[in-house]
A and B are shown apart, each in its own frame.
Chain A
Amino acid sequence: AQRVTQPEKLLSVFKGAPVELKCNYSYSGSPELFWYVQYSRQRLQLLLRHISRESIKGFTADLNKGETSFHLKKPFAQEEDSAMYYCAQTQGGSEKLVFGKGTKLTVNP
């Protein structure tokens, strides 16, 4: 079964510092990868997907097939980025998403 690994449960940075949330996947084919975010008291929402190759709220993520990674990066973290972040991938051609366990990001003033 495919697995998504987010090695950090908690990540704390200061405002203005760079931030990187790590994600590794296990599927050897051509996965679709996503980052979802959940701000306090809000519903889980899509942040970005690798197919779009876009930057959302200053975040980017590059798919590295050699390292099977899809790390989320932002050069200058803001306090409003504090949230729970989940990496997810489609499961072997099906529509199902497999999620990592999540990383809680705290950006300190």
Chain B
Amino acid sequence: DVKVTQSSRYLVKRTGEKVFLECVQDMDHENMFWYRQDPGLGLRLIYFSYDVKMKEKGDIPEGYSVSREKKERFSLILESASTNQTSMYLCATQSNYGYTFGSGTRLTVV
């Protein structure tokens, strides 16, 4: 089974902090994605990467950046956290069969 591991299940950060969310996969998949999940809004794509050092903006990239230095690791960075970035963040990888998601990081910005 593909494993997609998000390092933190819960995070609480202060407004203005720089926040790193980490995602690691163990199946050598090229495509990786970061979504945020909000009630009533579904999943919205923030950024995705189709190879090491390659990245593309999704639908809501403002306030975020990403890093993919190694194939297995895809990091989401909140440059200066704000309260409207309080959300559940989901990482996913893609195979021929579809997406595999991590268990999510619930981030609260206070």
Residues of A that sit less than 8 Å from B by CB: 6, 9, 34, 36, 42-46, 49, 86, 88, 95-102
Q: Give chain A residues whose Cβ lies under 8 Å from the Cβ of B10.
A: none
Q: Which of B40, B42, B58 is within 8 Å of A96, CB to CB?
A: B58
What CA separation (Å) do A56 and B24 show in the bound complex?
A: 28
Establish whether residues A34 and B42, one from each chain, have CB atoms under 8 Å apart when the complex forms.
no
A44-B90, A101-B41 known; A95-B50 Cβ under 8 A:
yes
Q: 10 nearest interchain CB pairs?
A: A101-B42, A99-B43, A44-B101, A46-B98, A43-B103, A99-B42, A43-B101, A102-B42, A95-B31, A100-B42
What CA separation (Å) do A97 and B43 show in the bound complex?
A: 10
What CA separation (Å) do A102 and B100 show in the bound complex?
A: 18
Residues of B that sit less than 8 Å from A by CB: 31, 33, 35, 37, 40-45, 48, 50, 58, 90, 94, 97-104
Q: Give chain A residues whose Cβ lies under 8 Å from the Cβ of B97.
A: 46, 49
Q: Give chain B residues whose Cβ lies under 8 Å from the Cβ of A101.
A: 40-42
The main secondary structure of chain B at its interface with chain A is: strand
What CA separation (Å) do A48 and B97 show in the bound complex?
A: 10
Establish whether residues A96 and B48, one from each chain, have CB atoms under 8 Å apart when the complex forms.
yes
Taking A44-B90, A96-B45 as given, write out 15 further A-B residue pairs in contact, using a Cβ cutoff of 8 Å, ordered by the A residue number: A9-B40, A34-B98, A43-B103, A44-B101, A45-B101, A46-B98, A49-B97, A86-B43, A95-B31, A95-B50, A96-B33, A97-B99, A99-B35, A99-B43, A102-B42
